[in-house]
Amino acid sequence: MKTHEHSTDAAAAAHDTAAQGRPSAAARDARAASHDARSTAGAGGDWAIDVTTEGLPGWLGPVARAARTIEPQQLSRFLPPASGAGRQSAVLVLFGEGPRGPELLLMERAGSLRSHPGQPSFPGGSLDPADGDQETTGPLRAALREAEEETGLDPHGVQIFGVLPRLYIPVSSFVVTPVLGWWRSPSPVGVVDPGETARVFTVPVADLTDPANRVTTRHPSGHCGPAFLVESALVWGFTAGVIDRILHFAGWERPWDRTKQVPLDWRA
């Protein structure tokens, strides 16, 4: 995702949480309405985007339920400006089922990039005008479009089952919508543009929940955030923060040593 050029503050944004009280009735109703939304045109304008939990595997139930009720402040203390300002973007948080069970799709930025070379991320990027209304289905289309452009996946095989609250990255003014998808019909994926992406890979959820693979990253600026040592990669920043909150609210999180730190260098 292009917004990861500013993932130091994103790590703090996704990791800093507020009190985890019960969401208000109004917030729950609004989220439920968004999850029941329907559109008549999908990514690329040639198929429908249907946000639904119908037919999901049972293990994704906790994630879908959390997405319907979680409050923005439970994900981050950095919330989008009330004025609506900010650069709208979206990422696809895509769950599939592999040889070792549930897994997530990630990509790794090319090592030749000036900003954050080699950093893992979700597929995603900024909304284009053709994606449509940023308040409704625009982020859904953008997440699918960017994932197709970056990994080559067939978006027709992706079932969108939820949308997390928007997060704000102050240093870059990005407003990021995490779109939750179920890889109902997996398709081949790989590097589309070597100039932007070094590799595309999946990570078993079992590895993400393994306490042995969990660490805290510390940036020279002083920002700390959750991270994962998986698939020969250090997953940190915005991506790790979102994964951390999903594991927590889905009830998948296992106790881990938050004092185990991995330093980041000044280029991160």
Q: Residues 108-126: pLDDT tens digits?
A: 988 777 656 788 999 998 9
Q: Which of 9-23, 108-122, 202-216 has the highest mean pLDDT?
A: 202-216
pTM of the shown model? 0.85
pLDDT at residue 268 in the model: 66
pLDDT at residue 116 in the model: 62
Could you give the CA distance from residue 193 to residue 236 in angstroms, rounded to a whole number? 23
Q: What is the DSSP letter of 38?
A: B
pLDDT at residue 221 in the model: 84
pLDDT at residue 80 in the model: 84
- Split at pLDDT 50, 70, 90, the class of 90 is very high
Nearest partner of 267 among 108, 107, 110, 118, judged by Cα:
118
pLDDT at residue 266 in the model: 65
Number of neighbouring beta carbons within 10 Å of residue 62: 15
Nearest partner of 34 among 179, 170, 224, 176, judged by Cα:
179
Where is pLDDT greater, at 169 or 123?
123
pLDDT at residue 79 in the model: 83
